[in-house]
Chain A
Amino acid sequence: MNPSETVERRLLAVAMLGLIGMVCSFTVHGPARFWANFLLWFLFLLTVALGSLFVVSLEHLVGARWSVPIRRIPERISGLVVPLVPAALLALFSLPVLYPWARPGAVLAPIVAAKSAWLNVPFFAFRVVVCFALWLVSYRVLVGSSLEQDSSRDPALTLRLRRFAPVFAIFFGLTVTVVAFDWISSLEPEWYSDILGVYLFAGAFLAGLAATVLGVAYLIGQGRLPGVRPDHLYNLGAFLFAFTVFWSYIAFAQYLIMWYGNLPEEVYWYKHRVHGPWQTVTLILAIAHFLVPFLALIPRGSKGDLKTLCRVVGLVLGAHLLDLYWLIFPVLGAVPLLSWPELSFAMFFLGYALLWARRAMARGEDMPVGDPFLAEGLAFHL
């Protein structure tokens, strides 16, 4: 048995163990906790996939050259959006459990009942379907054309990608906003914040970047990205830094405006997050999502250093997960839940995702060899 198979077997074992834990948690703790965990991991993997897809499209949008040699990594990660389709359909079962407006027979506050034109199950499901359809089509175009170029070497495909990128950017922005409003904001349906789409976008882009860095490190470790130098990593690090600041800016702006306005229908959302048992989580989130990555990425040396970058992106991914946890879990109660059910979900989804990522990373060329700008990208200097 070769070592690669050992790793796969171990990952599979971890995932299976997690699956057993998940089933147990459903029977022991009931559906609410199960579906909250499911939603957490579904959104985490979805944002990683979408963030990676946006990393890909950004290169085409601005016509960047430096990122061509590493483009294949986010392209592969964004493929995660395909196996997430069944997860999304499954996640629809969480609606009557977690979402007050979808609870059958529930007596809704008038203000929530008035939103029923938007917050109703059929329309919600329809939006999920439309969003996924758009993402799958975009994935097909953005990644499919790139893979096609590997063999055909046709520069016209690059042109097609560049033309498609702005269109994608528009409905990417809209669909991510729909995700934020539907899956996250409507957990507490009285609450509203029109920045939430941007907030989730910033988190997703960070997660996509972080996953890209991990993928790059994985391939570099295997010597499969010859020619990728610290200069390329530096740019990734700079983007991580910039979007860490951007996320913090958006997060703080939303908090400041609601804190200052102190309107009951808005500020209650923060009240049970910033005070009481959730306060610790909020503090950890601020430290892990902003303070530590911000300070760690300030020195010039750390942006181009693979080891430092890997540590930072590990933290960034963890912080993004914590961010989603902080967004979702307060609906379960006043105390943050963290015990074996959460661990089982982590084992299953991480095990599965890593297994999937290993296979994805093994397929096809490691660099977009047909891209006319690959040579220029490899020659990139700061």
Chain B
Amino acid sequence: MSDPVHAVVGLFETPRALLEAIARLRPRGLGRLEAYTPYPVHGIDQALGLRRSPLPGMVLVMGIVGTVTAFAFQYWISAVDYPLITGGKPATSWQAFVPIMFEVMVLFATFTAGLGMLLLLNRLPELDHPLLGSSSMSAITRDRLALAVESEGDGLDVAAAQRALTEAGAVAVEVVARPPGPYTVSIAAAAVAALVAGVAVVAAGLGTWVAVKAFPALPPMVHMLEQPRLSAQGGSGFFEDGRAARLPVPGTVARGRLPHPFTRQEEASVLGNPLARTGPVLALGRRVYGERCLVCHGSLGDGKALLSAAYGAKPANLHTAAARALPDGQIYHVIVAGKNSMPPYVRELSQDERWAAVHYVRALQRAQNAEARDF
């Protein structure tokens, strides 16, 4: 038994002949009429009674969606999530968002137009359409115009369609069968293409893996790291002693950095805070605390901060009874020498800065444990 007929295709030589044939065949209701042309012939859509393309509406909607998305995205990022002031402009400066709003609008709209046309409206790719295998197809994409009477479901009066097309002036008439037919692209070829693509992907992945494993730490640009400079602890032929760093002059002490004579925390209790509790001192303490302490101990000093949240570290809560009972000298000692995971800050902070931080810690403690007379 022969394959079911998909369509009867008549070929025409001129667009005028095609338009006339459409006009003649359309009232006869032989089947669904569809024209195939090598280039767009104007007026053919009216002749066939095709509905107007809904594409402009789709593009308009997606263009608006793109504009609004871009604005909302930039606004949220620049004004809400990461309000970084640059160039003295307000975080909400819409003027600067306009270029990207326009670009995203175009991006959304063009991809709607292109992909909407190809994928949604024309339902491409469609590599197994019956007509693609027909001998008419190569004539159509070259210079012939075709009118097809296509079967709508079951019945297609092939003989009548052939006759009608011939009468309408078709130079050739072909009956195109529904699958299985001689496809332009067989399933096998598509499978081969897919296989090749798959192999290529796997090979690229393997290649990347091998490259990464074989050359694990090939730094492409190390000049920032390997500068022509002397390391603090390194050697140098420049000085007689062969050291890169210079030692302090014997018998001298740097200003503001008197040696801390104690090794145990308890011994430091004897130290008293030499600084008066004045506004500038507290401001200095606040700055030191903000720069050095806050990341771990938190802005309130309760040990809950960025780093503890990120890494699960447990910095001391400065509001415990024990912490509040510590003498100033012991807090000073911890800043100088460090404690548990806390590093020493003896090099980073001068004496005054350390003592100012102690004052500030005291102020924090007081703030969390205020008494009636503080109000």
The digit string for A290-309, where 1 denotes a CB below 8 A from any CB of B, is 00000000101000000000
| Complex contacts, B60 vs chain A, CB 8 Å | 298
With CB as the reference atom, state the residue of chain A lying closest to B43.
A381
With CB as the reference atom, state the residue of chain B lying closest to A382.
B42
Contact residue among A255, A298, A300 (Cβ-Cβ distance under 8 Å from B95) = A255
Q: Would you call B323 an interface residue if the criterion is a C-beta within 8 Å of the partner chain's C-beta atoms?
A: no
- Assess the A262–B88 pair: CB atoms within 8 A: yes
A301–chain B nearest beta-carbon distance, Å: 11
Interface residues of B in 72-128 (CB under 8 A from A): 87-89, 95-96, 98
- Assess the B98–A260 pair: CB atoms within 8 A: no
B112–chain A nearest beta-carbon distance, Å: 15
B321–chain A nearest beta-carbon distance, Å: 55
Interface residues of B in 130-181 (CB under 8 A from A): none
Assembly CA distance A88 to B89 (angstroms):
43
With CB as the reference atom, state the residue of chain B lying closest to A262.
B88
Assembly CA distance A262 to B89 (angstroms):
10
Q: Would you call B272 an interface residue if the criterion is a C-beta within 8 Å of the partner chain's C-beta atoms?
A: no
Assembly CA distance A256 to B95 (angstroms):
7
B97–chain A nearest beta-carbon distance, Å: 11
Q: Would you call A191 an interface residue if the criterion is a C-beta within 8 Å of the partner chain's C-beta atoms?
A: no
B180–chain A nearest beta-carbon distance, Å: 44
Q: Would you call B290 an interface residue if the criterion is a C-beta within 8 Å of the partner chain's C-beta atoms?
A: no
The digit string for A274-316, where 1 denotes a CB below 8 A from any CB of B, is 0000000000000000000000001010000000000000000
| Complex contacts, B56 vs chain A, CB 8 Å | 300
| Complex contacts, A252 vs chain B, CB 8 Å | 98
- Assess the A256–B98 pair: CB atoms within 8 A: yes
Assembly CA distance A298 to B89 (angstroms):
34
Assembly CA distance A178 to B95 (angstroms):
29
* Secondary structure class of chain B's binding surface, majority of residues: helix
Q: Would you call A93 an interface residue if the criterion is a C-beta within 8 Å of the partner chain's C-beta atoms?
A: no
B254–chain A nearest beta-carbon distance, Å: 45
- Assess the B95–A259 pair: CB atoms within 8 A: yes
- Assess the B96–A260 pair: CB atoms within 8 A: yes
- Interface size, A (range): under 10
Assembly CA distance A262 to B88 (angstroms):
9
- Interface size, B (range): under 10
Assembly CA distance A255 to B89 (angstroms):
14
With CB as the reference atom, state the residue of chain B lying closest to A261.
B87
The digit string for B277-315, where 1 denotes a CB below 8 A from any CB of A, is 000000000000000000000000000000000000000
Assembly CA distance A255 to B96 (angstroms):
11
B311–chain A nearest beta-carbon distance, Å: 41
A144–chain B nearest beta-carbon distance, Å: 39
With CB as the reference atom, state the residue of chain B lying closest to A381.
B42
A241–chain B nearest beta-carbon distance, Å: 14
The digit string for A224-262, where 1 denotes a CB below 8 A from any CB of B, is 000000000000000000000000000010011001101
With CB as the reference atom, state the residue of chain B lying closest to A249.
B102
| Complex contacts, B87 vs chain A, CB 8 Å | 260, 262
Assembly CA distance A259 to B56 (angstroms):
35
| Complex contacts, A262 vs chain B, CB 8 Å | 87-88
| Complex contacts, A255 vs chain B, CB 8 Å | 95
With CB as the reference atom, state the residue of chain B lying closest to A299.
B56
Assembly CA distance A300 to B89 (angstroms):
40
A51–chain B nearest beta-carbon distance, Å: 27
B202–chain A nearest beta-carbon distance, Å: 48
A199–chain B nearest beta-carbon distance, Å: 17
B182–chain A nearest beta-carbon distance, Å: 41
Assembly CA distance A252 to B33 (angstroms):
51
The digit string for B221-236, where 1 denotes a CB below 8 A from any CB of A, is 0000000000000000
The digit string for B41-81, where 1 denotes a CB below 8 A from any CB of A, is 00000000000000010001000000000000000000000
B88–chain A nearest beta-carbon distance, Å: 7
Assembly CA distance A361 to B200 (angstroms):
73
Assembly CA distance A262 to B87 (angstroms):
9
14 A-B pairs within 8 Å (CB atoms) are namely: A252-B98, A255-B95, A256-B95, A256-B96, A256-B98, A259-B95, A260-B87, A260-B89, A260-B95, A260-B96, A262-B87, A262-B88, A298-B60, A300-B56
Which 4 pairs between the two chains have the least Cβ-Cβ distance? A259-B95, A256-B95, A252-B98, A262-B88
Chain A contacts to B: CB under 8 angstroms: 252, 255-256, 259-260, 262, 298, 300
Given known contacts A256-B96, A298-B60, what 6 new A-B pairs fall within 8 Å (CB)?
A: A256-B95, A256-B98, A260-B87, A260-B89, A260-B96, A262-B87
